[in-house]
Structures are given as structure tokens and as C-alpha cells.
Amino acid sequence: MTKETKISENEWPLWEVFIRSKAGLDHKHCGSIHASDAEMALESARDVYTRRSEGISIWVVPSNAITASKPEDKESLFEPADDKIYRHPTFYDIPKGAGKM
Amino acid sequence: MYGDTSIQKPIEIAEPTSEEQARLAEIFQQKIDDGIKIEPQDWMPDAYRKTLVRQMSQHAHSEVIGMQPEGNWITRAPSLRRKVILLAKVQDEGGHGLYIYSGAETLGTSRAEMIEQLQTGRAKYSSIFNYPALTWADMGTIGWLVDGAAITNQVALSRCSYGPYSRAMIRICKEESFHQRQGYELLLTLSRGTQEQKDMLQESVNRFWWPSLMMFGPNDSDSPHSAQSMKWKIKRKSNDQLRQEFVDATVPQAEFLGITLPDPDLKWNEERGHYDYGEIDWQEFNNVVKGNGPCNKQRIANHIKAHEDGAWVREAAAAYAEKQQRKNVA
């Protein structure tokens, strides 16, 4: 998402677009858009990404405002969770007699 | 075709310069073999990145240039119904271009750079858009055949190994179905009309049939560079495989329309379970790719003119944004 984009002088800044497809669901990243300001980014995102009722709400965020984790940090960030199987409900044996739990 | 770059000189794959590079390259290929998608921040070989930028920008340019032959007919649509459909379709093509530019920018090349390459002739676009749309029937034929061929290609590309490209293709495929169906419906209407309308339909299909087959690119035997793209899973099916799929799907649709396809060699092959078709005129294809098609110059000239005519809007919007920002700070 954060990318090293060479922005030429006259190119409008890049915004990341997130869309909530219906009430009750999260906003989901769907692409990016070039726009001079936030208002234009919203309007353009509407035209580009919701021409067929794909959304009921849009977020636009300046691409350079996003801090992303690095793929090479994947192990140190996420692997510690892998051996903590006791955090999952299936780790525990509950006899059938105890009923649904 | 939209995303086929096999006619161009391949991007050379550099030998790994260190043990670390070789290890990364191995991990990369393993991920691809395991069906794991590559995302923008992941390590990737230079040639993979360059191949994708070339293919995706060419694909995006095709969508945008593709607005011209149809845009040409908006004011002459025969009814309000046909007019709103055509407007929506042309707007979709622009949107598709933007999805793919957005995906391509994640590889570190800006949209402005890609557009500059298009306008200076360093980047290509699908040769099909260098043919003119001469009659109203062409609006139907383009939807049915050109978008039909594009869908065949894009369904395969939606399984491409690069995440942003694959996601853009999934979005596009959902919308392309409307494009093909509105085109076929338009042709069906003509096929039930006057003799003049039937003739217009047949004449249009006669002109677009062969260029549509050319959209899939050279025969596999003349496309030696495709192998690397297949290995990287940028390409999932060969040119001839996709072309055959398209022919097999299209022939029955032509029969239903009550028209003929301009190929005396076209016939069902019981043994193969596919339609056989005649030899494509590759000389014509190469000639159009080289820039000598009926509309090459006009298409690029229009693009440049629209871009230049819009310069003041871009500048004004940027100036306005800057002024607002200063106000907010003060």
C-alpha cells in the first residue's frame, strides 16, 4: 500500500480508497485514486469504485499517511502467535456430558 | 491482446548477483509454485516487476484508448436506452483503465510516467482499437466480439500471481459481462430487423472477426517468450488456448444470430472436440502493431489533445487545494 511512487510535478497526490459495501461490514481496501484534495478524492472514488452500488460509505486516506509493516518482519511480528495454541478454544477437552460450550 | 506482450522483446532476466539474491529468487518462485500471491512490498525479481509494469500499463492503455471507437457513437445512438447503455459502457472502460493504472502504480511506476510512454509511442495498446467503428452495428460487434475476447483473456488473468493485478481483473470481469451482453442484445435486435439492418450486422462482423482473433496475440509457436510469463503465472493460459476457447464459445452465438463468420475453414472438429479455424493474416497484425493501422495516429492524437486540453483543470484543482491548505494552516 505504501509505495515509492515517483510523483511528477503536476500529478495529483495518491489516495487509498476503502469501501464499506453494506452496514455491518468493515471498510475494505479496493484501490487508489489521484486527486488534488480529499473532497475530490471522495468524488472520484465514488465514480471509479462504486458505479454499481458496491458501497454505502467511502474512506480516502493519503497514501503516504499509511505506515505498513514490512514483509521481512513477518516472522518477528506474527510467528510468536503460532505456538500459543492454548489461545484457541480447540486446545481444551470438554467432555460431551458437560453440554454445548 | 489486452495484456499480451509476447510480440515485444522480452525483458532480460539478470543472473542473481549474490547468494542472498539467489535465495530470494528461490523463495519467490516457490511462493508462485505454491499459489501464494505476490503483493507490492514483497521481494520480486526486477524482470518480473518490469514485465508486469509493461503488461499492466499496456492493458490500462487499451481500456482508455478503447473509449474512442465507442465514444464516437454516443451522440448518434438511435434511442435514449441505447445512449445511456453506451455512456455507461464507455465510462466503465475509463474506470477499468484506472483500476489497472492503480494496480500498476503499486510497482513503483507513476501513472504520469505510463501515460507519457503511451503518448510517445514507447508503450503499446491492443491493436484492435486501431480499427474504426464505421456503423452502428459496430457498437454491438465490439461488445460481443472485442469484449468477448477481452473477457476470455481477463478471466485467465484474474488468477495472475500479482495480487493487485488479479484483484483488478476480478472487478473488471464482473463488469465486462454487461458489456458483452448489451452488444449481443444490440445485434439480436438488428438480426430481427429490416434487410438493411441484417446486412449492416453481417458487414460489421465480417470486419471485426479476424482482428478479434488477433487480440490473443501470435501463435504459441511464434511466442517463445511466453514461457517465462507462464512460469511466473503472470500468464495462465497460452495465446492459442485462449483463442480456441473464444472461437468455441462464439461460433454457436453467431449461428443463433443467423449470420456467418468470414472464415471458409471454420468447422467443428469432432475428433478434437473444438472448432477448427483458418490461418490468421499475421502480416496485417504486425502492420497494425507497427503503427500502420487505419486509426493509430488518430487515437494517440486524440489522447494527447484531451490530455493537453485538460491541463488547466489539473492546474486549477492543484492551485485550489494548495490555497485551501494554506487557509487551514492560518
pLDDT in tens, B143-158: 999 999 999 999 999 9
Instruction: State the ipTM, two decimals.
Output: 0.89
B159 secondary structure, DSSP code: T
Per-residue pLDDT at A6: 38
Give the whole-angstrom CA distance, residue B65 versus residue B183: 19
Q: In a mutagenesis test of the A interface, which of B37, B96, B110, B179 is the best target, namely the one with the most A β-carbons within 10 Å?
A: B110
Q: What is the pTM (predicted TM-score) of this model?
A: 0.92
Q: Is B92 on the interface with A (CB under 8 A)?
A: yes
How confident is the model over A7-28, as a mean pLDDT? 88
- Whether the pLDDT of residue A1 is over 60: the answer is no
Mean pLDDT of A73-88: 91
Asked if B95's CB is within 8 angstroms of A11's CB, the reply is no
Distance CA B282, CA B217 (A): 9
Question: Is A32 close to B314, i.e. CB distance below 8 A?
Answer: no
Predicted confidence (pLDDT) at residue A55 exceeds the cutoff of 80:
yes
Chain A: residue whose CA lies nearest to B175: A52
pLDDT at A4: 41
Sort out which chain A residues have CB atoms less than 8 A from B92's CB and list them.
Answer: 51
On whether any CB of chain A is under 8 Å from the CB of B113, the answer is yes
- The pLDDT averaged over each successive group of 10 residues in chain B (330 residues) is 62 83 95 97 95 96 97 96 97 97 96 96 95 98 97 95 97 93 98 98 98 95 85 94 98 98 98 97 94 95 96 94 88
Q: Does B111 touch chain A (CB under 8 A)?
A: yes
3-class SS of residue A53? coil
List the single residue in A8, A37, A71 with the smallest CB-CB distance to B42: A71
Q: For chain A, give the percent of residues with pLDDT over 90.
A: 77
Give me the pLDDT at residue B294, please: 95
- Kindly state the average pLDDT of the residues A55-77: 94
DSSP string, B256-305: HHT---S-TT-EEETTTTEEE-----HHHHHHIIIIISSSHHHHHHHHHH
pLDDT value, residue B168: 96
Average pLDDT of span A61-86: 92
In angstroms, rounded to a whole number, what is the distance separating the alpha carbons of residues B223 and B217? Answer: 8
Residue B6, pLDDT score: 62
Per-residue pLDDT at A7: 39
Alpha-carbon span A29 to A60, nearest angstrom: 10
What is the DSSP pairing of strand A14-20 with strand B274-276?
Answer: unpaired
- Does B119 contact chain A (CB < 8 Å)? no
